[in-house]
Amino acid sequence: MHIFSVDILGLTIAPTWYGLMYSLGFVGGYLVLSRRAFFSRSEIETLLLYIFFGVILGGRMGYVLFYDPGYFLANPAEILATWRGGMSFHGGAIGVILAMIAYSWRHGKDFYRIADHVTSVLPIGLGLGRIGNYINNELPWYAGYSGPFAMVVDGVSRFPSPLLEAVLEWAVLYVLLSIVLRYSTRPGQTAGTFLLGYGVFRFAVEFVRVPDAQIGYLLGTGWLTMGQILSLPMILAGAYFVFCFRRNETLSR
């Protein structure tokens, strides 16, 4: 959904809510990371550039491969049409991981420490992305809800599932990760907490929002979505890093 559209000298300027939310997410992450001693300002700027491309490329390719491969196989030119929507968080997460690996290798910084700091600010972008879903009237739940912040989709009032996700993935997860980052002395602990926390929240919320129309439910009615399947590896990996992974090294903040 466009915020506004204006033609200037034959050029159409039409920023989208998604674009705004992505921008605010990166700005918020930059402001938080810039207050930490682990990165210099130039290092943060370079790291965020890596992550930007990881999010965009990974998110788009994740959507193409996980959610609608048949359509994009038949219409390959549409793969680049990101302005029409279609981004996968799980694909974006893979892109961010690859970006952090590349940055760590190129600049000689510890991958686990980078991952701890980056994942601790990811909830900012996640929450803003869910606000974007809400503004665009995407991914609501059951019809007939008429309480606060109800979403009206095709004339039907529905429960605002994106706002529930925003509370869990932004407020709750951000506070939890901030606590773990501050008090944990194990590299990888904060990143593991993010994987586990997001995976659990996403798996649970999938029960109270409509699945993607082109896929639907994978097992019967109201059970098992693609989002839940993709969240399971995150839960398992997060549990490993939180409860099993050990590296005897004191973190410097």
The predicted structure's pLDDT at residue 215: 82
The predicted structure's pLDDT at residue 192: 96
Residues 151-189 as b/e (b if ≥16 CB within 10 A, e otherwise) read: beeeeebbbbbbbbbbebbbeebbebbeebbeebebbbb
The predicted structure's pLDDT at residue 16: 77
Token pair recorded at residue 168? 């869990």
What does pTM read for this prediction?
0.86
Query: One-letter amino acid identity for 167?
Result: V
* Average pLDDT value for residue range 155-177: 93
pLDDT in tens, 130-159: 998 899 888 888 788 888 899 988 888 999
* Average pLDDT value for residue range 157-178: 94
* Average pLDDT value for residue range 23-34: 92
pLDDT at residue 77 above 90?
no
Token pair recorded at residue 5? 């559209």
The predicted structure's pLDDT at residue 106: 92
Q: Are 239 and 196 in contact (CB under 8 A)?
A: yes
**Cβ atoms within 10 Å of 243's Cβ, excluding its own:** 10
Q: What is the 3-state secondary structure (H, E, C) of 185-240?
A: CCCCHHHHHHHHHHHHHHHHHHHHCCCCCCCCCCCCCCCCCHHHHHHHHHHHHHHH
pLDDT at residue 252 above 80?
no
- Alpha-carbon span 195 to 121, nearest angstrom: 13
Mean pLDDT, the chain, as a whole number? 87
Q: Are 90 and 67 in contact (CB under 8 A)?
A: no
CA-closest candidate to residue 158, choices 148, 176, 177, 143: 143
* Average pLDDT value for residue range 176-203: 94
Kindly state the helix (H) or strand (E) to which residue 7 belongs, with its residue range. Answer: strand 6-8
